Structure 1
């Protein structure tokens, strides 16, 4: 099933009165259904923050943006964890040497020269190492 169709199905489940919108009260019910707790004020604030058309309700498009934003945050967190595996402890970048060490731990034999060549296409600022932004680009390829 296409991701958008999945979002629509979940949205429809949360839209308990079937009006095509999620009200603050419906949002509270959704949060409660997954074991959370949200006050009426918190729900109203959350909806007001995410509401794109000013009707104090969430439409499907608002809902999709929220879900995709959460997924993007999760991906960012996963990338940060992966980056830390490759970067030397306390460092803000991946060096050819640290890349070689990690690849060796993963069972792949590479020379420092090979690792420099792996880094080079993504080394936007030309400093010979990968910072987190460059690493994100590399991982998206």
Structure 2
């Protein structure tokens, strides 16, 4: 999810506990754990800092942090573009999810005729929240199975 610049600036300020205008690789790890749920190794956090650390001080100023965050958002968007396009092909009803009927229609277009009951059963296997439809995250799991 792409965050706005003002949201990123607020996040930077909250990470900059001593208000010196800089955050360390350790503080970046805390940020990634809190915002993305990712626990990255210290070495990876240090490499991320180094990748945008223009002045070589081993710390990120606000501008460097914004550059890193926007770069990571762009990479995330690129990584999910293919799956999102595929999801959109199956999600034909504008509901933001794949229903048994929309799955049946798309499979039919692909030459794989299935009944609604069969499509319901296919969805059920990957429907983690039990709502009878597939969200994008559930669809990604189904496609990787």
**Counterpart selection for 1:134 from 130, 134, 138:** 138
Paired residue total: 84
**Could you say which residue in structure 2 is the equivalent of 1:40?**
none
Runs ≥4 residues deviating over 3 A: none
Which of 1 and 2 has greater Rg?
1
Deviations 1:67-86 (A, max 9, x none): 9x83x543311111110000
**Helix, strand or coil for the counterpart of 1:136?**
helix
Q: CA RMSD in A?
A: 3.1
**Could you say which residue in structure 1 is the equivalent of 2:106?**
102
**Helix, strand or coil for the counterpart of 1:90?**
coil
After TM superposition, list the pairs within 5 Å mapping 1:63-78 onto structure 2.
70=75, 73-78=77-82
- State TM-score, norm by structure 2: 0.50
Task: State how far apart, in whole Å, the 2-side matches of 1:104 and 1:121 are.
Answer: 20
Unaligned runs of 5+ in 1: 1-45, 57-65
Deviations 1:8-41 (A, max 9, x none): xxxxxxxxxxxxxxxxxxxxxxxxxxxxxxxxxx
| Aligned-pair CA distance for 1:55 | 7.8
Deviations 1:114-135 (A, max 9, x none): 1011111110110110011111
